[in-house]
């Protein structure tokens, strides 16, 4: 990776926000995925809608969307991006004992939306944890990752496998 450098540090090593003033605005899309693993009993209650706090998947979906919109408030050097679409899907996986979470975030702008997609998945998973923790404190949020991104100078990225 010769010639590559971290973009969030200046020549002296100080953290800074990347200047995107000269970048062309393009349509940018990012998709992320992750999961929250839990006991079969709690997963069953979530699927039945029987968790005492309400519709776990619906609340987590809204939390993920809100989180994507607030990413620049949560991650210090992220740009405030004018999002044009955010989708968050939560799918129970009985065989895997988990809820699979995917997000898709779109904007037309000078910088990408990878962090917004990853934040949406993370906060959706944490919302499930919060709503179910009284029933299962052993839940695990894991496998949060960028799946695809498109747009901008760096072009396309698609996770293999």
Q: Which residues are catalytic?
A: 130
Q: Which two tokens stand for residue 27?
A: 């349509």
| HSE-CB for 27 with a 13 A CA cutoff | 3
140-150: strand order across its sheet: 83-93, 98-109, 26-37, 140-150, 157-158
At 78 the three-state DSSP class reads: coil
Task: Please give the Cα distance from 99 to 112 (Å, whole number).
Answer: 27
């Amino acid at each position: 990776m010769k010639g590559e450098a971290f973009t969030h540090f200046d020549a002296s090593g100080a953290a800074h926000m990347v200047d995107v003033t000269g970048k062309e605005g393009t349509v940018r899309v990012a998709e992320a995925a992750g999961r929250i693993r839990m006991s079969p009993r709690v997963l069953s209650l979530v699927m039945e809608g029987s968790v005492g706090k309400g519709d776990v998947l619906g609340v987590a979906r809204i939390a993920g969307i809100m989180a994507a919109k607030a990413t620049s408030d949560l991650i210090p050097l992220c740009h405030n991006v004018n999002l044009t679409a955010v989708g968050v899907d939560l799918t129970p996986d009985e065989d895997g004992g988990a809820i699979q979470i995917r997000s898709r975030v779109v904007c037309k702008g000078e910088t990408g939306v990878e962090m917004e997609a990853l934040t949406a998945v993370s906060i959706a998973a944490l919302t499930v944890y919060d709503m179910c923790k009284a029933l299962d404190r052993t839940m695990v949020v894991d496998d949060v990752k960028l799946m695809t991104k498109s747009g901008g100078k760096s072009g396309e990225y698609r996770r293999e496998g």
